[in-house]
Amino acid sequence: MAASATALSSFLSFSIRKSLPTSPFKLSPEPLLPTNFCCLCSKTKRPKTPPTFSQSFPSKPLKFKPSQAKSNDIDTTFFDEINPEEEINFEPVEPPEGYVPPPAFDEGLPETEEEIAAAYEEIYGPAYSGFTVLGNNIYVMDSKVKKTSAFGKTKKEKIRDGLEERVVQVRRVTKVVKGGKQLHFRAIVVVGDKQGQVGVGVGKAKEVIGAVQKSATNARRNLITVPMTKYKTFPHRSDGDYGAAKVMLRPASPGTGVIAGGAVRIVLEMAGVENALGKQIRSKNALNNARATVVAVQKMRQFSDVARQRGIPMEELWK
């Protein structure tokens, strides 16, 4: 028996779904937003660096994007569509014949520590326990840790996952304290494969290289996909703003190239867009303009998606 489905907008729908053919629960329709975002609320999203946790009790649904949802096959769809107003009857499945309820966890025979350790080790390996009962190597977790070499700086790791980095701006920023001035470097980096994934990141450190690395890590956490047509351009015009920066993007015919300034150009190039026009309208701040292009790009939709969503043929959209 399935709960009937009017999904209230205040419930989360995580992107952890696998449609099982035998599932008795009806899956809610695909959200209109690109699948990176899992909130059904209509607030505009600003692509920002990972949000700081405020301890005040939240009054609105969350806007967090899961950065490492590894458990893609855990099916929590039942709980996405719960209508709390509706009456649910609890009709338990019939117990199988001769069902004996298992003992509670604190009753039953107490196990010795060795038995417990052996059982854990069977399942997980010795991990960080420091001793083995079954004779495995207790230093098995060492290979996962990066070794700091004795020379000081570790070798710079090559580009790990096909995302190219480009530095937009490196600035020296100062904090004045009682003892003098403390200098740091702030790097803004745009990361992208040329296939439609881009991310903008910021990072600060005392050395330029460290700052660049930090910002690259940050950028990899905020990747978005750019909707692109077959001629490597946008589907339609759009403008986005972030802070005081406003950016206007416009598609162009093939052969035009990317005609845009500074930060906007770098973001579009790293996304793999080959033909586009862009203009920074208000502020010229590099970071804000990079973020504004990301906002603008997120607002774009492919024609086919919109047509499918609205249930009309694509020709109607071009009238």
Partner 1 sequence: MTRRYWNINLEEMMEAGVHFGHGTRKWNPRMAPYISAKRKGIHITNLTRTARFLSEACDLVFDAASRGKQFLIVGTKKKAADLVASAAIRARCHYVNKKWLGGMSTNWSTTEMRLHKFRDLRAEQKAGRLNRLPKRDAAMLKRQLSHLQAYLGGIQYMTGLPDIVIIVDQQEEYTALRECVTLGIPTICLIDTNCDPDLADISIPANDDAIASIRLILNKLVSAICEGRSSYIRNR
Which chain residues interact with partner 1 by CB under 8 A? 10-12, 14-16, 20, 23, 50-51, 53, 55, 57-58, 61-62, 64, 66-71, 73-76, 78-79, 84-85, 88-90, 92-96, 99, 101-102, 104-106, 108, 111, 116, 119-121, 123-131, 138, 141-142, 144-145
| Between 104 and 176, CB nearer to partner 1 | 104
| Between 128 and 151, CB nearer to partner 1 | 128
Q: What are the tokens at 93?
A: 């499945």
| Between 25 and 303, CB nearer to partner 1 | 25
Q: What are the tokens at 315?
A: 């020709």
| Between 123 and 176, CB nearer to partner 1 | 123
Contact 13, 38 (CB under 8 A): yes
Find the shortest distance in angstroms from Cβ 311 to partner 1: 30
Find the shortest distance in angstroms from Cβ 181 to partner 1: 29
End-to-end Cα spacing for the chain: 45
Residues in Cβ contact with 185 at an 8 Å cutoff, skipping those fewer than 6 apart: 170, 171, 172, 173, 204, 205, 206, 207, 208, 210, 211
Find the shortest distance in angstroms from Cβ 108 to partner 1: 8
| Between 50 and 162, CB nearer to partner 1 | 50
Question: Could you tell me where the DSSP H helices lie in the chain?
Answer: 113-124, 208-221, 262-271, 286-298, 303-310, 314-317
The CA–CA distances, whole Å, from 49 to 110, 203, 228, 319 equal 49, 10, 25, 39
Find the shortest distance in angstroms from Cβ 96 to partner 1: 6
| 202 beta partners | 188
Give the pairing of strands 197-205 and 276-280.
unpaired
Find the shortest distance in angstroms from Cβ 133 to partner 1: 12
Find the shortest distance in angstroms from Cβ 112 to partner 1: 12
| 278 beta partners | 249
| Between 124 and 231, CB nearer to partner 1 | 124
Residue in the structure block whose two tokens are 């004779």: 135
